[in-house]
């Protein structure tokens, strides 16, 4: 499924944007077959939990790495849809700016609903594994890529997207390929999932940007990760440099000057933080 206005290159974008439905996308799912209630309002399945769209962005210069495809998978927050997420937070522009050699995927979560549930990707055993394999296979069979094997994967989550990211780390079946998790004011839950993933391997890299909205959750994560010797960094986001952020130690970044819904795009922090990951560069 393509939307002409959505697919049109904007702001000098040179990569390729695709909007397509996949059976392995988060919804529809049994967990929301009767919709969802929040603050005395009902969000029905037909309107909010049937869209199986996935936004795909392939940056200019992308190439498979030794026969594998590297991915950035972004889990959006409440009251959003894929088109709005791409446009408001300038995700495509920032992937290009970061020059990371990876395909950006934004699966549609709860559509225009205040809900952190993420259906198949959060709750199904190996749901994330099936999803990545599904997308990689379609890209290859469509002649868009020359490989169909999944390589390195980076998870990014904004706000209520913690449900999808946390569920993926709990039962998604792909932890061995996930090298980095970037949270943007998203530490509202799944603390065990995030901390356990960090402890699984020394190369696992967690970076968490936060405002007062998630200060409690980030303090919880810090306490779960802190070792007997100093083993994590806490910095001010407004002054942190790329060289300071290029560490495998868990890194927590506080901002008191940028609002919750502007964290990804106001200072291009999404592009900056992607440069701290294990992803290689485009040609």
String of DSSP letters for 155-219: EEEEGGGHHHHHHHHHHSS-TTTEEEEEEES--SS-HHHHHHHHHH-TT-EEEEEE-GGGHHHHH
Is residue 166, in this structure, part of any structural domain at all?
A: yes
- What is the C-alpha separation between 263 and 141, in angstroms, rounded? 36
Is residue 14, in this structure, part of any structural domain at all?
A: yes
Q: Give per-residue pLDDT as tens, 171-187.
A: 999 999 999 999 999 99
Phi, psi of 202 (to 5 degrees): -65, -20
Residue ranges making up the domain that contains 246: 4-274
Is residue 148, in this structure, part of any structural domain at all?
A: yes
How many structural domains compose the chain? 1
Tell me what the mean pLDDT of segment 132-144 comes to: 97
Is residue 69, in this structure, part of any structural domain at all?
A: yes
**Higher-confidence residue: 73 or 6?**
73
CATH of residue 123's domain is 3.40.50.1820
- Pairing state of beta strands 205-210 and 251-254? parallel
CA atoms within 13 A on the CB side of 172: 30
Is residue 280, in this structure, part of any structural domain at all?
A: no
Q: Give per-residue pLDDT as tens, 62-121.
A: 999 889 999 999 999 999 999 999 999 999 999 999 999 999 999 999 999 999 999 999
The pLDDT of residue 65 is 87
Which residue intervals of the chain are DSSP H helices? 4-7, 45-48, 82-88, 91-98, 119-123, 127-141, 162-171, 191-200, 215-225, 242-245, 269-274
Share of the chain above pLDDT 70, in %: 95
Query: Mean pLDDT in the chain?
Result: 94
Tell me what the mean pLDDT of segment 235-241 comes to: 97
Check pLDDT > 60 for residue 7: no
Tell me which residue of 33, 52, 53 sits closest to 43, measured CA to CA.
Answer: 33
Tell me which residue of 200, 217, 11, 182 sits closest to 97, measured CA to CA.
Answer: 11
Phi, psi of 191 (to 5 degrees): -60, -40
Is residue 282, in this structure, part of any structural domain at all?
A: no
Is residue 22, in this structure, part of any structural domain at all?
A: yes
The pLDDT of residue 4 is 43
pTM beyond 0.75: the answer is yes
Q: Measure Cα distances from 67 to 97, 136, 147, 231 in Å.
A: 24, 12, 5, 35
- What is the C-alpha separation between 130 and 19, in angstroms, rounded? 18
Tell me what the mean pLDDT of segment 126-141 comes to: 98
């Amino acid at each position: 499924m393509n939307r002409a206005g959505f697919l049109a290159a904007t702001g000098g974008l040179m990569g390729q944007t695709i909007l397509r439905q996949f059976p392995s996308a988060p919804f529809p799912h049994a967990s929301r077959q009767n919709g969802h209630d929040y603050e005395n309002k009902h969000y029905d399945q037909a309107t909010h939990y049937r869209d199986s769209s996935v936004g795909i962005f392939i940056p200019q210069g992308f190439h498979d790495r030794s026969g594998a495809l590297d991915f950035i998978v972004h889990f959006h927050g409440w009251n959003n849809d894929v088109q709005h997420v791409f446009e408001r937070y300038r995700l495509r522009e920032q992937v290009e700016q970061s020059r990371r050699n990876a395909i950006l995927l934004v699966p549609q979560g709860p559509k225009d609903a205040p809900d952190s549930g993420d259906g198949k990707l959060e709750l199904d055993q190996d749901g994330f594994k099936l999803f990545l394999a599904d997308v990689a296979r379609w890209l290859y069979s469509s002649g868009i890529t020359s490989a169909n094997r999944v390589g390195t994967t980076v998870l990014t989550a904004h706000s209520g997207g913690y449900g999808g990211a946390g569920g993926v780390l709990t039962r998604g079946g792909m932890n061995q390929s996930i090298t980095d998790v970037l949270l943007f004011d998203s530490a509202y839950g799944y603390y065990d999932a995030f901390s356990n993933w960090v402890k699984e391997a020394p190369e696992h890299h967690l970076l968490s940007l936060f405002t007062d909205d998630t200060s409690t959750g980030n303090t919880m994560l810090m306490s779960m990760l802190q070792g007997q010797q100093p083993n994590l960094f806490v910095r001010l986001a407004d002054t942190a440099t790329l060289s300071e952020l290029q560490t495998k130690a868990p890194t927590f970044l506080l901002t008191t000057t940028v609002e919750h819904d502007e964290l990804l795009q106001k200072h291009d922090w999404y592009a900056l933080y992607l440069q701290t990951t294990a992803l290689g560069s485009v040609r």
